[in-house]
């Protein structure tokens, strides 16, 4: 019985020591530090910077807003042309409509320019 206990204690100590030395041996192999040029470091930083991604999304959103306004204006023009062909009359575009379309275009254009400027500021 004593021999079995001694053997189990010896086996436990041996297995723990082997485990400790083997994990230390794996950790001792030092990896070479990553060597980058300045250009590569800047590219990695820009790629992983979340504010750059947000700036790009803001530019894309502003472009889509401009496209949406152009599409809406085109649809109104198509409906106006269809009414003119079918009934000989057209949609009366009042001052409010013209003003809101013009202001919408200017606002979308300004939003796009600001988003592009903001993305340039983040990059530089």
Tens digits of per-residue pLDDT, 48-63? 877 777 888 888 988 9
CA dist 117 to 10, 49, 55, 60, 108, Å?
71, 17, 9, 13, 14
Total-model pTM: 0.51
C-alpha to C-alpha distance for 85 and 91, rounded to whole angstroms: 12
Residue 32 has pLDDT above 70, yes or no: yes
- Tokens 């275009």 sit at which residue? 105
Task: Confirm if 111 and 62 have CB atoms less than 8 A apart.
Answer: yes
């Amino acid at each position: 019985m004593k021999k079995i206990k001694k053997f189990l204690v010896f086996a436990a100590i041996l297995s723990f020591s082997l485990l400790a030395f083997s994990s230390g041996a794996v950790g001792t192999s030092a990896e070479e530090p990553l060597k980058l040029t300045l250009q590569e470091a800047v590219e990695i930083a820009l790629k992983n910077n979340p504010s750059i991604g947000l700036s790009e999304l803001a530019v894309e959103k502003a472009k889509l807003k401009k496209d949406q306004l152009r599409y809406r204006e085109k649809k109104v023009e198509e409906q106006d042309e269809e009414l003119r062909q079918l009934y000989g009359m057209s949609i009366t575009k009042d001052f409010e409509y013209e003003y809101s379309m013009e202001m919408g275009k200017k606002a979308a254009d300004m939003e796009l320019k600001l988003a592009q400027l903001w993305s340039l500021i983040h990059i530089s």
